[in-house]
Structure 1
């Protein structure tokens, strides 16, 4: 950047908090968590989630352990309104989960919001208005008094409407939007007026959400702002201070951690940092950071891959392979010196001792990741180019996670046999591992048929050397085949599915299809299956059976 361009900006002024206490504090317990994936995260997508994907995400968030979930901005559209009605009317909300809805501080929007909540057992109504000078002066043209009145009038209306819905326990949440850019004394004035208007008590607390709507300063300044509010707010015993960090400067996780040290009680954010612009605070990283410090985060990420695949499916956003804790390569060492240190660390690690393995701040098993993926081969270790050779020599373009899995197979082979492996050696190893993955179940043929809105299948397979014809129905050929195999006692889950055309052509001059299915079974971990055929459905079913054989559950089949 040139000096001329840099002079456009000035440093954010520090808070005059000379006796700050947060630097000497540590986080000793999990905060209240609130997921904004279905609202803040959803509105940030190229293509917002439809109702079914929102429902899938909602159920996943409940399974993880979130007790507060912001599900919609119901006054924004009929889609948002309808989703609130659906989760209430179809009784999808667990008894210990409180849904949250967002509204601007405008009468008609607040009334519409309350219409969406009819029949709910409990709900948080989150109202906000902008309070900082740029919005007061340039956007709304409002005085400080008018801003306060706007907030108070909205709260009084919410209180009135809540009284008219005695069957629903309403909790008030108020956000002075752009809190970090608002004068602290004025932020306190607005928040105190809100808690007074609501009549906040220790038994009827108000959530005061103090967001970094746009991250404009270093995280220590946010911590100072939070501690100042924590120490100066009226009715502090009747207030829950909530953090809502965004990530414009890339320090949202740090801001949240320091904000908790400064006295906050609650954190709002999204899985994997989704959200407007550069995103909301990443709740997975924040929670697992606590886990690595011996603090129970009260959220279950013991199967991080399943959460990641649901997130990617619902949002259509990829997770970076270097994303903390969940990226496909975060537990992978390519460097020879790293590999050596990790191997020695594993050898020294005792099961009942504090975790202390070089380069691994968390035990991969804690998030459901296997040790097999920790040490991989590439050009840095002299055994690389596996994926490149598979693609250029055999036309097989493997998914990234399959590349990681298969490189472990190649590494075991090279460790046993030594020397270099040729492209043909790698292909033979791939074929033995995936295309001829055991003979517990062997594919013979299949026939598809329509059954109403469902896809039916008659699947002929050999199980233990005996031919069986299995039938199943589902929402597609793979789902139908899974149900057919389930009728034989074979229970597994499909985690991901990809199909590719093979280049170069097959020997007959026709293109062939590759199918890759990532599967899991209880107590047996995860693995890939692969299938190749001129017909993509046939390739997919072969991949399914490959995965079942590799999981070792084909031997569990029970056929009458």
Structure 2
């Protein structure tokens, strides 16, 4: 039996005055990428210097103005990378780099040695404040833990005296979600006062969901409570750093923004310890999908994926929001039909807004190709097959033909799985446009004759029957009717044209037309479609009739 009784529920906070559920996200937060620190330390194979440089340049290209580049006091590799950025002059003037360091004097001193030559930096100090870690990790009481944080701020002030650049202090009460709110506020306020934060000299108070412990609404309550209780709120940039242990990092971040957070730390595609950091790409694309400027240059998600996978040796899952290979793909027949109709309706109405069922955004807007939107397998339906034929090849199949051709593809997909558009088109040729045996139309002579009662059309058709050349004649009230009557007499059959559709396939002087003939075998009641293609619409119609006869009788 699943031993759920080993676990106790994390308590929620009593905060009935919450306001965040009634708010909406209206603008992008301050973005801070921690790919080069938090993300890098979680890799099976941490990035080498040149891979870090490539990732750093990608983050710059995306528009990040705050980038945590590492923990320079933790190892020589981290130290050297920061020095590479400085000495190679890779840090733009409008970008602030961030460095992480524990509240220990020798580490803070080493950090400032690494920062020499940097014009503006965020020095991010932290210590764990949670009830559990105070007890089992540090064996210190509340006052002792608070003193560690305050002393860290004092050391930063001390060592920045010999630093030529500008320093912004960031403090994180690590394991904030497991810390009593009153105590988290007490420690943060103590650091705020030790730093001397003002409206002109702001401090970043970062409240991390270091381990996601409960539902996102509880984190939002915690953020709003802190936001409403800060002393001198105008001197604080309220930052969040959500992780994804419960799989709700995105929801936690979005609700925390509603609760008053100004800034978000996270990584591309959610890379990070355990289940990862909050995914900044998803957060940004979510805002984009609601008509909010994400203030990041994320028009080409394929480039993001390419650089990320190359540098981190990690793979983006096929169902990853926005970036996965399958996220703009519809296998379900009903979904495919709805997408088809949605795109057609939007184009016909010239809608200024993107409104297509099952596609929250236009894949083309983020650098994805639209062609792979619909994929056909055994779960697909008539709408999907028709969509492929229209989108990929320009054939607008009559509605009555959708199921007939879909059944052909369904039989194939049940044997082999997914059917590619190229194979669908080949089957269309084999079953319709190239269905030219055993009777194969070759040539027709059409004559219009006027009599006393009506206009009559006479046709003389040259064709082959099992390779033998033959000729038949027919008279009717138009070419199709004349061909029908001539075929009935020639082949000893009784047929009726139930429906006829045509449309142009291409534009220009070499335009071709497609003709669809729905034909009934009167004796058996069987029906089928035939399809003909030609630059001459009459010839396309004749080929369509021959195609249908071959399908019905041979």
1:162 alignment partner, one of 160, 163, 180: 160
TM-score, normalised relative to structure 2: 0.70
Change (3 A) 1:417 1:241: farther
SS of match in other structure, 2:158: helix
1:301 CA drift (Å): 1.3
User: Which residue does 1:364 correspond to in 2?
Assistant: 363
1:114 alignment partner, one of 109, 112, 137: 112
Deviates more, 1:47-56 or 1:370-379: 370-379
Aligned pairs for 1:447-462 within 5 A: none
1:407 CA drift (Å): 2.5
- Which deviations, in whole Å up to 9, do the C-alpha atoms of 1:342-375 show, x marking residues without a partner? 0111101145522110100111111111210101
Structure 1 CA distance for aligned equivalents of residues 6 and 313 of structure 2: 37
Structure 1 CA distance for aligned equivalents of residues 94 and 364 of structure 2: 29
- Which deviations, in whole Å up to 9, do the C-alpha atoms of 1:236-290 show, x marking residues without a partner? 1000110100000000000000000000000000111100000000111111111
Does structure 1 residue 286 correspond to structure 2 residue 289? no
SS of match in other structure, 1:267: strand
SS of match in other structure, 1:349: helix
Structure 2 CA distance for aligned equivalents of residues 420 and 79 of structure 1: 65
SS of match in other structure, 1:94: coil
Conservation of the 8 A alpha-carbon contact between 1:195 and 1:235: no
- Which deviations, in whole Å up to 9, do the C-alpha atoms of 1:445-488 show, x marking residues without a partner? xxxxxxxxxxxxxxxxxxxxxxxxxxxxxxxxxxxxxxxxxxxx
Change (3 A) 1:76 1:358: same
User: Which residue does 1:377 correspond to in 2?
Assistant: 376
2:274 alignment partner, one of 254, 274, 277: 277
Aligned pairs for 1:465-544 within 5 A: none
TM-score, normalised relative to structure 1: 0.70
User: Which residue does 2:58 correspond to in 1?
Assistant: 60
1:96 CA drift (Å): 1.3
Conservation of the 8 A alpha-carbon contact between 1:34 and 1:68: yes
Structure 2 CA distance for aligned equivalents of residues 384 and 306 of structure 1: 38
Structure 1 CA distance for aligned equivalents of residues 430 and 110 of structure 2: 70
Change (3 A) 1:414 1:204: farther
Superposition CA RMSD, Å:
2.1
Change (3 A) 1:384 1:145: farther
Structure 1 CA distance for aligned equivalents of residues 268 and 193 of structure 2: 34
User: Which residue does 1:40 correspond to in 2?
Assistant: 38
1:171 alignment partner, one of 168, 178, 181: 168
Conservation of the 8 A alpha-carbon contact between 1:414 and 1:420: no
Structure 2 CA distance for aligned equivalents of residues 284 and 89 of structure 1: 30
Structure 2 CA distance for aligned equivalents of residues 300 and 413 of structure 1: 40
Structure 2 CA distance for aligned equivalents of residues 411 and 285 of structure 1: 34
SS of match in other structure, 2:379: helix
Structure 2 CA distance for aligned equivalents of residues 416 and 233 of structure 1: 71
1:415 CA drift (Å): 4.7
Structure 2 CA distance for aligned equivalents of residues 194 and 317 of structure 1: 38
Structure 1 CA distance for aligned equivalents of residues 416 and 161 of structure 2: 69
1:414 CA drift (Å): 3.9
User: Which residue does 2:207 correspond to in 1?
Assistant: 210
Structure 2 CA distance for aligned equivalents of residues 79 and 24 of structure 1: 47
Conservation of the 8 A alpha-carbon contact between 1:334 and 1:377: yes
User: Which residue does 1:553 correspond to in 2?
Assistant: none
User: Which residue does 1:551 correspond to in 2?
Assistant: none
Change (3 A) 1:414 1:131: same
Long gaps (5+) in structure 1: 391-402, 422-560
Structure 2 CA distance for aligned equivalents of residues 92 and 354 of structure 1: 40
SS of match in other structure, 1:379: coil
Structure 2 CA distance for aligned equivalents of residues 91 and 57 of structure 1: 16
Change (3 A) 1:193 1:349: same
SS of match in other structure, 2:371: helix
- Which deviations, in whole Å up to 9, do the C-alpha atoms of 1:416-454 show, x marking residues without a partner? 554799xxxxxxxxxxxxxxxxxxxxxxxxxxxxxxxxx
Change (3 A) 1:414 1:369: farther
User: Which residue does 1:267 correspond to in 2?
Assistant: 264
Change (3 A) 1:208 1:415: farther
User: Which residue does 1:408 correspond to in 2?
Assistant: 421
Does structure 1 residue 315 correspond to structure 2 residue 312? yes
User: Which residue does 1:342 correspond to in 2?
Assistant: 339
Structure 1 CA distance for aligned equivalents of residues 84 and 298 of structure 2: 27
Structure 2 CA distance for aligned equivalents of residues 356 and 370 of structure 1: 18
Structure 2 CA distance for aligned equivalents of residues 126 and 418 of structure 1: 67
SS of match in other structure, 2:113: helix
Does structure 1 residue 306 correspond to structure 2 residue 319? no
Does structure 1 residue 247 correspond to structure 2 residue 244? yes
Structure 1 CA distance for aligned equivalents of residues 93 and 193 of structure 2: 30
1:206 CA drift (Å): 0.5
Structure 1 CA distance for aligned equivalents of residues 121 and 411 of structure 2: 54
User: Which residue does 1:29 correspond to in 2?
Assistant: 27
Q: How many equivalent residue pairs?
A: 404
- Which deviations, in whole Å up to 9, do the C-alpha atoms of 1:39-73 show, x marking residues without a partner? 00000010100001111000001101111010111
User: Which residue does 2:491 correspond to in 1?
Assistant: none
Change (3 A) 1:385 1:142: farther
- Which deviations, in whole Å up to 9, do the C-alpha atoms of 1:362-405 show, x marking residues without a partner? 1111111121010122233346979x979xxxxxxxxxxxx9xx
Conservation of the 8 A alpha-carbon contact between 1:383 and 1:420: no
Task: Tell which structure's C-alpha radius of gyration is larger.
Answer: 2
Conservation of the 8 A alpha-carbon contact between 1:305 and 1:368: yes
Structure 2 CA distance for aligned equivalents of residues 240 and 226 of structure 1: 12
Change (3 A) 1:232 1:407: same
SS of match in other structure, 2:238: strand
Does structure 1 residue 297 correspond to structure 2 residue 310? no
